[in-house]
């Protein structure tokens, strides 16, 4: 009898607990649902209430900073000044797409400052890459688009579209031509013309791989669907840059006080050229000769980059100048996906005793903020030992 009473009390409190939790969850979800205001874009902070893990990754991404990033902001202000404000539509199309598509160039709505935010991407209902000014068909509403089929949400309608898994979704902002058709940023076409596209490897496979976390708060709804990482690691990622290239010293010749080296650089794990994106990014291939104590005897370097020029054939050096004034490509010795380039070095050295030759590849970006800064990341290296009799 005693156990029966305990069992009845247990059932009673369990039902009470379920009722309270359900009532709280129902009220909370109804309040959240009311924040979806039809034809208006919503803040990522609202999305983050349910998609907690995705929001955390995105919040630490360059996508979330695409408008407020000081590197972009400095280039944008210069371009804005140089064009009497016309650059706002050209630049904000990708760096503040909600401002662009909703014509909120005065940034009256806070969500316009969120960069490439949740509700922009998940309001894209179609893509037209032939339409430069509006490559994305955007429909802000209670319908949210994504890659997963047969998904349900208590606060919005969910619709699956395959382009979320395809590189074309990235192309609208990672492909840019100048006023005369010159390729300024060609990341998408580099991928499309290379071996990765032929193998069906998309941008998302490398830049949004599956990772730890849940697509929705598991306290709200249990889901076994794997989560794609939304930090969208790219050109400044130390982890990715450390994997994409291989440096090899393939030939060394010692002369009278000189040494020549042939160095091969291979793009081993990038689906586009390295470097890619903004042409001010470059790789520095450095060859250094050191003695047995590690002291540098001599060194030399070569630059791997795409160089653009204006109508007077003058090299363009800053991001804003390149975007606004690029007219032609002066040179381009970048490494294509799966490809290699060989570089010859001839160094004058006072060679005595045992010495080492080291080749290293460094990613370099010197963005203009208030003054010129420098971003330098070691990517790959090789070394060989020689002796002088």
Domain chopping of the chain, boundaries: 33-228, 238-387
Give the mean pLDDT of 85-96.
94
Residues 6+ apart with CB under 8 A from 25: 220
Alpha carbon 306 to its chain's center: 19
Give the 3-state secondary structure of 58-84: HHCCCCCCCCCCHHHHHHHHHHHHHCC
Q: Where are the extended beta strands (E) located within the chain?
A: 124-127, 136-138, 143-146, 157-160, 176-177, 183-185, 210-211, 227-228, 245-254, 258-267, 281-291, 296-304, 306-309, 328-332, 340-348, 354-365, 375-387
In the structure, how many helices (H) and strands (E) does the chain have? 13, 17
Contact yes or no for 350/257 (Cβ under 8 A): yes
Nearest to 231 by CA among 218, 248, 213: 213
Give the mean pLDDT of 206-211.
96
DSSP 8-state code for residue 315: B
Q: Percent of the chain beyond pLDDT 70?
A: 88
Q: Sort strands 328-332 and 340-348 into parallel, antiparallel or unpaired.
A: unpaired
Give the mean pLDDT of 87-104.
95
Backbone angles phi, psi at 229, to 5 degrees: -65, 130
pLDDT tier at 152 (50, 70, 90 boundaries)? confident
Give the mean pLDDT of 197-217.
96
Residues 6+ apart with CB under 8 A from 379: 241, 242, 244, 245, 247, 283, 360, 361, 362, 363
Q: What is the pLDDT of residue 29?
A: 45
Q: What is the pLDDT of residue 21?
A: 42
d(CA 303, CA 283) in angstroms, rounded, equals 6
Least confident of 23-32, 346-355, 369-378: 23-32
Residue 54 is inside which H or E element, if any? helix 52-59
Q: What is the mean pLDDT of the chain?
A: 88
Cα Rg, the chain, nearest whole Å: 27
Give the mean pLDDT of 229-250.
90
Q: What is the pLDDT of residue 16?
A: 45
Higher pLDDT, 24 or 212: 212
- Assign 175 to helix, strand or coil: coil
- Assign 282 to helix, strand or coil: strand
- Assign 102 to helix, strand or coil: coil
Give the mean pLDDT of 153-169.
94
Crossing angle (nearest 10°) for helices 70-82 and 87-95: 160
Buried b (16+ CB within 10 A) or exposed e, 239-275: ebbeebbbbbbeeeeeeeeebebebbbbbbbbbbbbb
pLDDT tens for 256-280 read 888 999 999 999 999 999 999 999 9
Higher pLDDT, 389 or 104: 104
Least confident of 109-123, 158-172, 214-228, 374-388: 374-388
Give the mean pLDDT of 72-94.
94
Q: Domain spanning 238-387 has what CATH number?
A: 2.60.40.10
Residue 9 is inside which H or E element, if any? helix 2-33
pLDDT tens for 5-34 read 554 554 544 444 444 444 444 554 454 445
Higher pLDDT, 370 or 235: 235
Q: What is the pLDDT of residue 186?
A: 97
d(CA 119, CA 355) in angstroms, rounded, equals 58
pLDDT tier at 171 (50, 70, 90 boundaries)? very high
Residue length, the chain?
Answer: 389
CA distances 207 to 9, 146, 202, 210, 239, Å, are 53, 17, 9, 10, 11
Give the mean pLDDT of 218-239.
87
Strand partners, 356: 290, 385
């Amino acid at each position: 009898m005693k156990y029966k009473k305990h069992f009845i009390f247990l059932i009673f409190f369990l039902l009470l607990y379920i009722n309270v939790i359900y009532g709280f969850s129902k009220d909370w979800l109804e309040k959240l649902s009311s924040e979806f205001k039809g034809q208006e874009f919503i803040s990522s902070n609202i999305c983050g209430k349910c998609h907690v893990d995705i929001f955390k990754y995105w919040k630490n991404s360059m996508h979330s900073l695409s408008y407020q990033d000081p590197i972009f902001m400095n280039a944008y202000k210069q371009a804005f000044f140089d064009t009497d404000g016309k650059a706002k539509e050209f630049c904000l199309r990708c760096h503040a797409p909600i401002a662009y598509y909703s014509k909120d160039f005065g940034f009256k709505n806070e969500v316009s400052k969120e960069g490439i935010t949740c509700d922009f991407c998940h309001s894209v209902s179609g893509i037209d890459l032939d339409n430069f000014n509006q490559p994305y068909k955007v429909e802000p509403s209670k319908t949210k688009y994504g890659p997963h089929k047969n998904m349900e949400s208590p606060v919005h309608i969910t619709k699956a579209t395959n382009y979320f898994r395809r590189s074309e979704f990235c192309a609208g902002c990672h492909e840019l031509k100048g006023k005369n058709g010159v390729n300024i940023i060609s990341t998408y076409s580099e991928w499309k013309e290379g071996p990765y596209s032929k193998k069906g490897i998309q941008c998302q496979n490398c830049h949004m791989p599956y990772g730890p976390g849940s697509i929705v708060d598991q306290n709200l709804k249990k889901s076994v669907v794997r989560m794609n990482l939304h930090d969208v690691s790219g050109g400044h990622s130390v982890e990715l840059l450390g994997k994409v290239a291989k440096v090899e010293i393939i030939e060394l010749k010692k002369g009278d006080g000189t040494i020549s080296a042939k160095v091969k650089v291979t793009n081993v794990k990038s689906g586009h050229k390295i470097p890619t994106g903004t042409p001010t990014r470059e790789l520095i291939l450095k060859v250094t000769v050191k003695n047995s104590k590690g002291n540098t005897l001599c060194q030399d370097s070569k630059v791997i980059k795409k160089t653009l020029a204006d109508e007077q054939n003058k090299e363009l050096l800053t991001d804003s100048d390149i975007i606004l004034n690029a007219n032609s490509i002066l040179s381009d010795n970048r490494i294509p996906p799966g490809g290699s380039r060989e570089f010859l070095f001839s160094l004058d050295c006072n060679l005595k005793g045992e010495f080492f030759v080291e080749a290293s590849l460094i990613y370099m970006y010197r963005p203009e903020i208030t003054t010129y800064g420098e971003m330098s990341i070691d990517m790959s290296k090789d070394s060989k030992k020689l002796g002088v009799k």
